[in-house]
């Protein structure tokens, strides 16, 4: 049986819809570079005002956490047959090394398991090479966390009804 995904019409590259409804993500310049079945990749361009350790030039951990949490939430949305609101239950970041100063930060997330009410996600963050991550993470997200329409609901319905997925 082929799995059906509610946001399948948005799969591909350059998916601004996954960040543009979150003011904090817009403020830090986060971009979604790819979404697909159960997966999402995001990037935060380097900015001097993100540096949390001026002596070493290392980016503040809150920027990394935001990057990974947004990627994890997007991967969760990309695993659903029907869009529901989600909320982060738990997120653990393990820093493997310091991120290289002056480099853009990338985050990749994969939703590897879902129950009726919880999604389980894992992933990593890197700067120079995806094969050399500076952090790994695991997270859980509550499904159906609130009443109301998710910001992507209408867009996903339009894409499904009117055709036109992404390349």
Please, what are the domains in the chain?
A: 8-162 (3.10.129.10)
Q: What is the CA angle 134-61-35, rounded to 5?
A: 65
Write down the residue that tokens 């009726």 correspond to. 116
pLDDT tens digits, one per residue of 100-141: 999 999 999 999 999 999 999 999 999 999 999 999 999 999
Q: Is 64 exposed, middle or buried (0-12, 13-18, 19+ CB in 10 A)?
A: buried
Instruction: List, in sequence order, the alpha helices (H) in 28-167.
Output: 61-77, 153-162
Query: SS3 of 166, please?
Result: coil
**What six digits make up the tokens of 80?**
């659903």
Residue 2: per-residue pLDDT: 74
**What six digits make up the tokens of 141?**
């997200």
Strands 51-53 and 105-114: unpaired
Sign of CA dihedral 22, 33, 4, 76: negative
Residue 130: per-residue pLDDT: 96
Q: What is the mean pLDDT of residues 24-39?
A: 96
Q: What are the backbone dihedrals phi and psi of residue 32, each rounded to the nearest 5 degrees, phi first?
A: -95, 120
pLDDT tens digits, one per residue of 58-93: 898 999 999 999 999 999 999 999 989 899 999 999
Taking the C-alpha atoms of residue 38 and residue 20, their distance in angstroms, rounded to an integer, is 20
pTM (2 decimals)?
A: 0.86
């Amino acid at each position: 049986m082929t799995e059906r995904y509610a946001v399948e019409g948005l799969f591909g590259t350059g998916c601004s819809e996954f960040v543009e409804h979150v003011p904090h993500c817009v403020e830090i310049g986060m971009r979604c570079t790819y979404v697909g079945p159960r997966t999402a990749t995001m990037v935060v361009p380097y900015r001097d005002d993100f540096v949390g350790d001026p002596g070493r030039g290392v980016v503040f951990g809150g920027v990394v956490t935001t990057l990974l949490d947004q990627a994890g939430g997007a991967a969760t949305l990309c695993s659903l047959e029907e869009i529901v609101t989600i909320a982060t239950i738990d997120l653990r970041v393990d820093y493997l090394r310091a991120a290289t100063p002056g480099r853009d930060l990338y985050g990749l997330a994969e939703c590897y398991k879902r129950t009726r009410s919880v999604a389980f996600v894992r992933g990593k963050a890197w700067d120079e090479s995806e094969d050399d991550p500076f952090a790994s993470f695991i997270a859980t997200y509550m499904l159906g966390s609130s009443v109301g329409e998710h910001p992507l609901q209408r867009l996903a319905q339009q894409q499904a009804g009117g055709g036109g997925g992404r390349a």
